[in-house]
Amino acid sequence: MRSDRFTRRAALALAAGLSLAAAVPALAQDGAAKKIRIGVIGAGNIGGTIGGLWVKDGHEVMFASRHPEALASMVSGLGPKAKAGTPEEAITFGDAVFIAVPYKAYPDLAKEIGPALKGKVVLDAGNATQKRDGALYDEVQASGIGATSAKYFPGAKLVRAFNAANYKVFAKEGADGGKDRSGGRMAIPIAGDDPEALKVAEGLVRDAGFDPVVVGSLKDADKFAMGSPGFGHDVTAPELREKLGLSK
C-alpha cells in the first residue's frame, strides 16, 4: 500500500513537471532560450522586423495575414524557417504569439482570434494613439495599456514587449547590429502578470538581439507606453533601469 502511494505521488510529480515544461517552451533547463515556433499577427513594420530577427536567430516563424499569399516575397527572402499563413494558422503553429497590429484593430481581432489565444504566451506590441484610435485611446488612458490589452485577450499569458521604440531602431540595433555598441545592447522593457510567460519573453528579447528589462506586472506597462517618460529610449539595460527607477 505504501509503495502504491509513493508510485502515485511520483507519477503526479512527473505530470506536474511535464506540465510546467510545456508551459515554458522557450526555456531550457539551464535558462537558455530554445528555438521555438512563433506566430506573428501583423507582418508590417514591427512584426516584420522583429519576426525577421527571430528567423535569423533560428526560430521558425509564421507571419499572418488574412491574405497570406501577399507575404510570399517577404517570407521567401527570410529563408525556409519563415512561413506565411492566416492568423488562425499562426496561432495554432506558434508556441508563442507576437501581436503587432494597429491598436484600433484589437476589438475586431479579439472577436476573431481571442478564444484561440487562451493559454498562449502572447507578446503584445500595440500602441494606442489619440488620432487613430479614438475611444479606444480614451479607454487606454482610463484603464492602462496593459489592462486594456488583457481585456481584449482574456486568458492569454500576455506580456507587453517591443512597443517602446520605432521599428527602424529595432532593425538597426537588433541581432548583430548592436554587438559593437558601447556599454551593451539596447534594452527592451517588458511587463506581464505571468512569471513563466515573462521568462519566455525575456528569452525571445535576447534572441532578437536585445537585453530585456522586466518593469513589473501589466499595470506597470504604462511606465513605457507611448507618451510616457519610459518610451523611446535607445539605451542599455542599466541606463533604462535608472530612467524607470527600478532597482538594479
Q: Is residue 7 part of a domain?
A: no
Q: Is residue 18 part of a domain?
A: no
> What is the DSSP secondary structure assignment for residue 153, as one 8-state letter?
S
Pairing of the two strands 187-192 and 157-160: antiparallel
* CATH code (residue 146): 3.40.50.720
* Residue 125 contacts residue 192 (beta carbons within 8 Å): no
Written as tens digits, the pLDDT of the chain (248 aa) is 444 443 444 444 444 344 434 444 444 434 445 799 999 999 999 999 999 999 999 999 999 999 999 999 999 999 999 999 999 999 999 999 999 999 999 999 999 999 999 999 999 999 999 999 999 999 999 999 999 999 999 999 999 999 999 999 999 999 776 566 667 899 999 999 999 999 999 999 999 999 999 999 999 999 999 999 999 999 999 999 999 999 76
Q: How many domains does the chain have?
A: 1
Q: Is residue 127 part of a domain?
A: yes
Q: Is residue 17 part of a domain?
A: no
The residue count of the chain comes to 248
Q: Is residue 82 part of a domain?
A: yes
Strand-pairing partners, residue 188, are 212
190's grid cell? 517588458
Structural domain span for residue 73: 33-244
Q: Is residue 152 part of a domain?
A: yes
**Contacting residues for 116 by C-beta, under 8 A, at least 6 apart:** 88, 91, 92
Q: Is residue 8 part of a domain?
A: no
Q: Is residue 218 part of a domain?
A: yes
